């Protein structure tokens, strides 16, 4: 999903926004500015527009925007996806979050796992994301991600994470993981009684991940024709673009249906997209709204 630049109606600063945002809270003056025309752009791509308060985003300062596809030669040191820059961006995302805010955290890159030393994982491993400099600075583990962007989430706020990496099923350490089989599903409780609390401060956190904790993920050029994109990211965009008014269950199923056709011909990778959440809900009746 591409970003765009708008002006804050309060202080006039430039605001970097996802294309679907219909309003934004300025990171400097905290005023909220509406952008009516952006809802039309959202409708053209995704087919439906949620209520305005669901699309109010807290804007990211331009110097914290990480490099994306095509920006490998980024010269601004604050835009390179290093461990420190990703940490700074995550802290900024959750800072001063208010009821009514809708936050989105998207990571597409390498992922791994390591031994769980504080015994809060059912499988004995912490899941990680691997910044550009992870070989020298180390990865960012799920405990830190949870503490930074999940636990501070206040009542009335919502976070969606879209994580396209290997071993990413529980990379936000959310309490519940949804297992779906056709039209049936169940929520698996990931909590360990002796471990610290991994939920929010009253808000709702949801994560779509590329695969389960013991699977790897693949990349593809099938979606764009030339640029290499994560298979999960491609399946997510394809599903949301093709089917308006998706429920969470239908979105998860559509991603799973699309992944085999997006896989490179020379791979034997099996990946199943995962949905995890801070609380359980009916995935086939709750509408997906960022």
The residues, ordered by sequence, that sit 6+ positions from 184 with a Cβ below 8 Å of its Cβ are none
Tokens of 169: 């099923």
Are 87 and 132 in contact, with CB atoms under 8 Å apart? no
Angle between helices 231-242 and 248-262 (to 10 degrees): 130
Q: Tokens in use for 190?
A: 């990931």
Backbone dihedral region of 202: left (phi > 0), alpha (psi from -120 to 50 degrees) or beta? Answer: left
Tokens coding 272: 């199943």
Q: Which residue has the tokens 């962007």?
A: 149
Of 118, 102, 275, 86, the C-alpha closest to 187 is 275
Active-site annotation holder among 106, 110, 134, 160: 110
CA distance 92 to 96: 8
Task: Specify whether 196 is catalytic.
Answer: no
Which one from 97, 130, 166, 211 is the annotated catalytic residue? Answer: 166
For the chain, helix, strand, coil in percent to 5 are 25, 25, 50
CA–CA distance, 198 with 21 (Å, rounded to integer): 29
Residue 228 structure tokens = 């290499």
Cβ neighbours of 268 (radius 10 Å): 6
Between CA 145 and CA 10 the distance in angstroms is 32
Positions annotated as catalytic residues are 110, 166
């Amino acid at each position: 999903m591409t970003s765009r630049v708008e002006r804050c109606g309060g202080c006039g600063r430039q605001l970097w926004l996802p294309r679907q945002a219909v309003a934004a809270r300025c990171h400097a003056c905290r005023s909220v500015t509406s952008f009516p025309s952006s809802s039309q752009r959202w409708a053209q791509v995704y087919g439906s527009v949620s209520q305005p308060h669901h699309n109010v985003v807290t804007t990211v300062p331009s110097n914290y925007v990480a490099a994306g596809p095509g920006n490998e030669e980024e010269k601004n040191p604050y835009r390179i996806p290093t461990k420190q820059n990703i940490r700074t961006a995550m802290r900024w995302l959750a800072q001063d979050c208010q009821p009514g805010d809708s936050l989105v955290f998207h990571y597409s890159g390498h992922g791994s796992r390591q031994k769980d030393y504080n015994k809060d994982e059912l499988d004995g491993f912490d899941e990680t994301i691997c910044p550009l400099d992870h070989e020298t600075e180390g990865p960012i583990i799920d405990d830190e991600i949870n503490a930074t962007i999940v636990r501070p989430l206040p009542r009335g706020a919502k976070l969606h994470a879209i994580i396209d990496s290997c071993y990413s099923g529980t990379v936000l350490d959310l309490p519940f993981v949804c297992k779906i089989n056709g039209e049936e599903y169940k929520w698996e409780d990931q909590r360990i009684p002796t471990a610290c609390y991994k939920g929010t401060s009253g808000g709702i956190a949801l994560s779509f991940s590329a695969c389960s904790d013991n699977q790897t993920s693949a990349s593809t050029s099938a979606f764009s024709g030339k640029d290499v994109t994560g298979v999960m990211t491609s399946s997510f965009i394809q599903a949301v673009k093709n089917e308006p008014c998706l429920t969470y269950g239908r979105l998860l199923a559509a991603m799973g249906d699309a992944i085999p056709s997006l896989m490179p011909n020379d791979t034997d990778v099996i990946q199943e997209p995962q949905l995890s959440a801070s609380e359980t809900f009916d995935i086939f009746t709750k509408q997906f709204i960022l």
